[in-house]
Structure 1
């Protein structure tokens, strides 16, 4: 039943990009607070304070809106991790450690981020458009991690073959993914420092890079 206490916002003209962003943000709020099943055009329009017709003006179908929301959610999380390593002047091993730490800290590792991801991931298997969005963002994250791993190994005089580098990257990503799920689902049991420490020990063992944890600790102690 519509919430009769919710007041529709006064109409104002806005650019199409801003209006699309507001509708996407409203979609993410609905999914985060009420789940994917609640993300109807009516509910989203009420959350955004607009008419259902306006949503249809910017998105041909609800699936298009959900796809845009999933893409924005994943892109935002990935960009937050990438921004932590934009300074290419930092030592390669330190950049890798910082990337892992940022990915396993708030706001990337967060119950709401997990709630959104869980809501979307159930659609990936049955929706080809969602699968393309998922694949694109997965490869974006993996590509960044692979570049950082390659640089860290090169700094230690090691240059694995492309196939070996791919396997090392996928294995390291599996560690990060698993701890991201655990840390987001049970933040009271595993704090960000503990998540990062476990991840760096495991990834260091996978890559044969001793001291990933030590390198990050030295940076944080400065």
Structure 2
């Protein structure tokens, strides 16, 4: 094996071990809460020593920050997967994105429990606060870009401030319905929350419903 190949193998192995530690952390937080997710508990879950954890993460707070970032990034990526629609018009892409945020696997009891555990510490933990801010702004930027495409398609130009207001409002709609779906999904008909979300977003953007349109 060449030196370059050995370096690549070592790097990929280290990245995999780091990700395994993050997954073990998420499992511990889901089962034991943040207080129960000690370095010792995480090490036992991952089948490694506490010393190995410290090799990858200087402290527990650094590991929790990485775990929270992974959780939020995963949810966003799951929703963004719905945007891979060849030839779809901007309105359909936005509708698909909203729908993906309000259906499994994004709507998930375990995911909600993890999010709730972390969010309770955001205001007292600078590392988690930073991870939360980055995640929120990344999601908002994604929504802004989708809204800009939709409005351009409608022949409406909007400035940065207007796009940002729309994105904040749409994020609030998605967040509220997502919480309802995670906490009491059994009381809603299949696709009901997604339908409400899509209708609400189109109303916020002042879009006329297309005749025969079933996407919103």
Normalising by structure 1, report the TM-score: 0.86
Q: For the residues of structure 1 that align with 2:31 and 2:208, how far apart are their CA atoms? A: 42
Q: For the residues of structure 2 that align with 1:164 and 1:192, how far apart are their CA atoms? A: 33
Q: For the residues of structure 1 that align with 2:76 and 2:142, how far apart are their CA atoms? A: 9
Match status 1:152 vs 2:154:
no
Normalising by structure 2, report the TM-score: 0.89
Q: For the residues of structure 2 that align with 1:214 and 1:195, how far apart are their CA atoms? A: 17
- Counterpart position of 2:175: 177
Shift of 1:160: 2.0
Q: Structure 2 matches for 1:62-73, cutoff 5 A?
A: 62-73=60-71
Q: For the residues of structure 1 that align with 2:86 and 2:149, how far apart are their CA atoms? A: 10
- Counterpart position of 1:50: 48
Structure 1 residues 192 and 71: alpha-carbon distance in aligned structure 2, compared to 1, 3 A threshold: farther
Number of residue equivalences? 205
Alpha-carbon RMSD: 1.9
Could you say what secondary structure the match of 1:54 adopts? Answer: helix
Q: Is the 8 A contact 1:93 1:215 kept in 2?
A: no
Any gaps of 5 or more consecutive residues in structure 1? 1-12, 218-222
Match of 1:76 among 64, 74, 77: 74
Task: Identify which range, 186-195 or 151-160, moves more after superposition.
Answer: 186-195
Could you say what secondary structure the match of 1:159 adopts? Answer: coil
Q: For the residues of structure 2 that align with 1:88 and 1:55, how far apart are their CA atoms? A: 43
